[in-house]
Amino acid sequence: MLPTLAAALFYLIAAAILVRDVARGIDGRAWKIPAALALLAHAWLHIEAWHRTGVPDMHFFAALSLVALGMAAVTTLLGTRKQLDAIGVVVFPLAAVFAACYSFFGHAPQPPMTWQVQVHAWLALFAYATLAVGALLAIVLWLQERAMRNREFHGWMRALPPLTELESALFRTLTVGFLLLSAAILVGAVFVGNLFQQHLVHKTVLSLASWLIFAILLFGRWRWGWRGPRAVRWTLVAMAILLLAFFGSRFVLELILKRA
C-alpha cells in the first residue's frame, strides 16, 4: 500500500507543478524530482509483487499499470527536451489512477510463463506505452494546429514547442514504438505457438492490423512527407486498434469470461 500511495502522491505533485508551469507559459524543471520519485515507487509496486509470486503479473490491471508506468517514464525522458513535458499533465494523473487500480484490483494468480513469452509480453507493453505517448503527442499536435488555424492563441500554447519540433518528436516516438511492436510480433511468431488459437486470434489479427497502419504511416512520412491531420488520424486509428487488441481482449477474457 505504501508504494501505491507514494507513487500516486508524487505523480499528482508532478502534474500540479506542470499545470502551474503550463498556465504561466514557462518551461520549468521542478516537476522532475517528484516524477522520478513516482516512477521509483510505481516500479517498486510491481517488483514487490513479482518477488512475492516469483512471476511477473501481466493480468488486466497489472498490464494497465505497467503501460502507465512506461508512459510516465517516456514522458519524463521526453521532458528533458524543451517544452515536451506538457503531456505529463495528462500522463501523470493517469499513471496515479492505474497504479491505484492495480493495487486494489490486481494481483491475480499468474500462470507460469516461459522466458520467451515473458520477452514477448514485455516488448508488447513497452511498445504500447511508447505508442500511447505518441498518440497523446498527435492529439496535442492536432489541438495546436487547430488553434493556430483559428487564430486562437491560448496561454497553454506557450508551453508547447513549435509545430515542426512537436511533429518531429511525434514521429521519433512512433518509430521507436513501431520497432518495439515489430520485435514483439516477431518474438511472438517465433516462440508463442498458439497466437492464432481461439482465445488469442482477435488480439493477433488486430495487432497486425495496427502494425500495418503504423508501417504505412511511417513509410508515407519518409516517402511523401506526410504530416498534419493525416498523420494524426492514422496515429489515432492505429493506436485505437492496438488498445482494442490487447486491453479489449484481456477485458473480455479476464473480467467477463473469468479466464486467465
At 20-29, the pLDDT tens digits run: 887 776 767 8
- pLDDT (mean) for 231-257: 81
Q: pLDDT at position 25, please?
A: 65
For 7, 62, 100, the CA distances from 105, given in Å and listed in that order, are 16, 9, 8
Output phi, psi for 65, to 5 deg. Answer: -65, -40
Angle formed by the axes of helices 115-149 and 88-105, nearest 10°: 140
236 has pLDDT over 90: yes
Residue 90 · residue 136 · CB < 8 Å: yes
Q: pLDDT at position 258, please?
A: 57
Domain ranges of the chain: 1-107, 113-260
pLDDT-derived band of residue 196, with 50, 70 and 90 as boundaries?
A: low
Side-chain-side CA neighbours of 50 within 13 Å: the count stands at 13
Buried b (16+ CB within 10 A) or exposed e, 46-69: beebeeeeeebbbbbbbbbbbbbb
203 has pLDDT over 60: yes
What global pTM score does this model have? 0.90
d(CA 12, CA 64): 18
31 has pLDDT over 70: yes
Question: 3-state DSSP call for residue 80?
Answer: coil
d(CA 7, CA 20): 20
The amino acid at 133: V
82 has pLDDT over 70: no
Residue 68 · residue 38 · CB < 8 Å: no
Buried b (16+ CB within 10 A) or exposed e, 217-234: bbeebeeeebbeeebbeb
Q: Cell numbers at residue 175, please? A: 518509430
| More confident position, 151 or 165 | 165
